[in-house]
Amino acid sequence: MNAVDLEARIPNNVGLKDDKKLLRALEQWQPRFLDWWREMGPSDFREDQIYLRTAVGVGQGGWANFDYVKMPDYRWGIFLAEPEPEKKIHFGDKLGDPVWDAVPGEHRNVLRRIIVTQADTEPASVEQQRLLGHTAPSLYDLRNVFQVNVEEGRHLWAMVYLLHKYFGADGRDEAEELLRRRSGHADNPRILQAFNKPTPDWLSFFCFTSFTDRDGKYQLAALAESGFYPLARSTQFMLTEEAHHLSVGENGVGRVVERTAQLMKEGTDPRTVGAIPLDIIQKYVYEWSSASYDLFGGEDSSNAATYFGAGLKGRYREGDGLYRDPKALEQAYTTQVAEGTALRTLEIPLRRAMNALLLEAYYADCKRIVDRWNRTLKRYDVAAEVKLPSLRFNRQQGIHAGKWYDPEGNPIAQAEFEKRRTTWFPSAEDYATVKSCMKKVYEPGKIANWIAPPAQGINNNPFEWEYVKFH
């Protein structure tokens, strides 16, 4: 394990100073990253002091160093989790072989594609969220969106390091492309569709961090099992930071639900006081969760089987020894798919169902957060509940694409789906209602009327703390 070098132009624990060629390549990429950040990162706020967490190492306490920082001065570093000695591949056909510290030639293209796809999501989300600071409901939330943004920037650095170090000229070209694509751009969009969706308001942001970022958690967790050890160690550390992003989303939607529930209990219509009614929250949940289901890819996937067999991408927490058959050759995955207006059982050989397994783990996690929001509603004696749609609902990818289901997963006719579309997804009017609530609140301790304050602040500071100091 290399020592942490914090004084370097690029803080790192990967021994950059001893690899002059790589260091030069990354130092050439750095100004282009900063140009991209200035153009596509958070709009304005460059001179303001933000109370941010910066990773300065992977050891105890090192990943969470809190201080005021101007965002362009944030120290984006490259950190890999500590290696385990004599680490072996623990799944697939290479079970028991030593992990790879270099890219096996036969997996070069596949690994590059996996890394580029993951990497592309990182700048994409920063671009999607670049205007949110102007309508932040509190300083606490303003600081949180910037924290998410700078850490997604660091995750881009983590992936770009892998591309530069292990994939030669091809990797360097891919790293340049990561700064050229743009979220939502007609001609040069980001790779995955959910990362081209506009994030026009804070409810969208909280839904994004609840559902779309949560997909990222599961993809990273699967890559953290990889036999390509630099990728595994890189994603293991990214997961530590990602947990905070998910709590921003989960707590964010939860606080919107809580404020709405408070008003409903008082007998006040949220619309009349600049807050968000429950039916619109529900539509946002349907929209963002179903779009995020598609990020897992097809439930029956030969690519997924190849990745697993080759030891490139494992199951959720594969390394913990939770699975009886680490080769996944002896079982099948059973699910149901529409046939006309009925459901029929579909059996998929387990290896080909790796995306479906990961999606199921993700769904259980989403169910947990929605249940938590519903406990809040119950606490305020609100009988209505937020519902998480079925994994079959509104799918554009996989075995349910081109089929039509209601949110409970019952097959329906396409005409019925289209007829009910506006009852399930936000309309232009709904977006306008939410937009009308989005007014900035920059005074410490104050908060917008559409969201409840958090139960606790950041780093043991109170909600009233001055999380952003304007210049």
Partner 1 sequence: MSDARPRLVYVCEGGDCSEKGSVELHNDLKEMLKTADPDGKLKLRKYPCFGGCEHGINLALFPDKVFLSKLKKEDLPRVCDFVCGKSPVPAGHTGIVAKDVEQIVWDLLDTGF
Give the binding site for partner 1 (CB under 8 A): 60-61, 63-64, 217, 221, 239-240, 242-244, 246-248, 250-251, 315-317, 320-325, 328, 330-331, 350, 357, 361, 364-365, 367-369, 371-372, 375, 455-456, 458-460
Smallest gap from Cβ 458 to partner 1, in A, equals 7
Task: Report the residue number, 273 or 329, with the smaller CB distance to partner 1.
Answer: 329
* Residue placing its CB nearer to partner 1 in the complex, 375 or 435: 375
CA 433 to chain centroid, in Å, comes to 26
Q: Is the dihedral of CA 191, 197, 198, 203 positive or negative?
A: negative
Rounded CA-CA distance 103/98 in Å is 13
* Max Cα–Cα distance, the chain, nearest Å: 67
CB of 323 to partner 1, least distance (A): 5
Distances (CA, A) of 98 to 84, 85, 217, 402: 11, 10, 26, 43
Which residue number, 322 or 384, has a Cβ lying nearer to partner 1?
322
Closer residue to partner 1 in complex, CB, 152/430? 152
Minimum CB distance to partner 1, residue 220 (Å) = 9
Q: How far is the CB of 470 from partner 1 (least distance, A)?
A: 25
Region of 87 on the Ramachandran plot (φ > 0 left; ψ -120 to 50 alpha; else beta): beta
Give the DSSP letter string of 311-344. Answer: TSS--TTGGGT--S-TT--S-EEEEEEEETTEEE
Indicate the residue among 43 and 334 with the shorter CB distance to partner 1.
334
Closer residue to partner 1, CB minimum distance, 273 or 455 = 455
Q: Quick one: 9 or 379, whose CB is closer to partner 1?
A: 379
Cβ of residue 331: shortest distance to partner 1, in angstroms? 6
Please identify, using beta-carbon distances, which residue of 121 and 376 lies nearer to partner 1: 376
Question: Is residue 210 a contact partner of residue 288, using CB atoms and an 8 Å limit?
Answer: yes
Residue 192's contacts (CB-CB under 8 Å, 6 or more residues apart) are: 117, 120, 121, 124, 295
Taking the complex as a whole, the smallest distance from the CB of residue 2 to partner 1 amounts, in Å, to: 20
Show the beta-strand stretches assigned E in 143-301.
none
Query: In whole angstroms, how close is the CB of 232 to partner 1 at the nearest point?
Result: 14
Quote the least distance from Cβ 161 to partner 1, whole Å.
22
d(CA 47, CA 32): 20
Question: Residue 393 is encoded by which pair of tokens?
Answer: 């609902």
CB 76 within 8 A of CB 41: no
The SS3 assignment for 66 reads strand
The whole-angstrom separation of Cα 389 and Cα 408 is 6
Sign of the torsion angle spanned by Cα atoms 245, 252, 213, 383: positive
What is the closest distance, in whole angstroms, from the C-beta atom of residue 297 to partner 1 in the complex? 19
Residue 155 or 217 having the CB closest to partner 1: 217
